[in-house]
Amino acid sequence: MTTIPQTTLTSAATGKRSGILRQASSILVLLFLVLFPLAATNFVTFQITMLLVYAIAILALNILTGGSGQFSLGQSAFFAIGAYTSAVLVEHGGVNYLLTLPIAAAVCFVIGFLFGLPALRLSGVYLALATFALATAMPQLLKLHYFDPWTGGVQGLVTSKPDAPFGLPISPDTWLYYLTLAFSLAIYAAAANLLSSRTGRAMMAIRDNEIAASAMGVDTALYKTLAFGISAAITGIAGALGAIAVQFVAPDGYTFQLSIALFLGMVVGGVGWLPGSIAGSAFIVFVPNIAESISKGLSGAVFGVLILLVIFVIPRGARQIAEFLQATIEGKRGGA
């Protein structure tokens, strides 16, 4: 009996309290991300850099799927295009690596937009199919001998690692880490703004009911293609950052398996929940190592089983866990 007034009380205070909780946890995560390289080895720093890179790519997929409700199994292709754009420009064009990032984004945006054009008329299944074919064909496209002089064919391209600018007393790995972190934060903020803007709302209207959205005057074709292009552009930046950090690009590094991993990261992190991108990314960076230690060669199966576990047990991924934790914490406070 006494629980009833209590719940009404807590629900009144929940808005404020969950806001504080959310802010506190984001500040904690941010502090950790900024400070940890001081205590970590170069290898760990490199790993966390890659974690951020994949988090950006998963965020891009989240904008597409969570935002506009379209599917892409072809993110590995845009990741590859971004990576190659950066590597080729640095190696053959002598372009500064920082400049290659916006160029990679622009190239991927154009290709994504053009590829998304047929998507204007397609339902989710067809788009999934077309992007599946794109991801499967991409390694072969990169191996084409016409492009050999630039791409290095099957062998790929090796690039050099940039040093920290202005004579900063930090190692190249740490510098790349902070660079990636800065890009991640900027892209995260931009994505959050995008989704709460007019464009984002139009996308979400399409996601929820395309026919209703078009009846309300949303240009569904434009926004669907735009979502595809933006997602491709962000994936391209991730690919370029990844190429700079790894210092190596090769066609077989960007197979359909990468698309699977990014897709899994999104599902694990919670579809449409931007903070989930980093949780999903941590998952796809660290779980394969664990899976490999359980059984070598079976990591694909462990991946698959984990996807099934997530969709059957916690269909909303990390978001569900976060909400559950939040509810428990608040529940305790409310009871005290």
Residues that bind another protein (CB under 8 A): 65, 71, 73, 115, 117-118, 121-122, 124-126, 128-130, 132-134, 136-137, 140-141, 143-146, 211, 256, 260, 263-264, 267, 271, 295, 297-305, 307-308, 310-312, 315
- What does the CA dihedral 51, 203, 105, 232 come to, rounded to 10 degrees? 70
Rounded Cα gap, residues 79 and 235, in angstroms: 5
How far does the chain reach from its first CA to its final CA, in angstroms? 17
Rounded Cα gap, residues 188 and 88, in angstroms: 27
Kind and range of the H or E element at 274?
none
Angle at 10 between CA 8 and CA 12, to 5 degrees: 70
Least distance from another protein to the Cβ atom of residue 226, Å: 18
Closest to 300 (Cα-Cα) out of 269, 256, 270:
256
Closest to 179 (Cα-Cα) out of 159, 161, 160:
161
Nearer Cβ to another protein, position 143 or 224? 143
Would you call 147 helix, strand, or coil by DSSP? helix
Provide Rg for the chain, Cα atoms: 21
Q: Which residues of 133-148 are buried (b: 16+ CB within 10 A; e: fewer)?
A: ebbbebbeebbeeeee
Least distance from another protein to the Cβ atom of residue 221, Å: 13
Least distance from another protein to the Cβ atom of residue 306, Å: 8
Nearer Cβ to another protein, position 44 or 307? 307
Nearer Cβ to another protein, position 37 or 116? 116
Nearer Cβ to another protein, position 179 or 310? 310
Rounded Cα gap, residues 137 and 141, in angstroms: 6
Nearer Cβ to another protein, position 95 or 302? 302
Nearer Cβ to another protein, position 12 or 308? 308
Least distance from another protein to the Cβ atom of residue 109, Å: 18
Least distance from another protein to the Cβ atom of residue 171, Å: 36
Least distance from another protein to the Cβ atom of residue 141, Å: 5
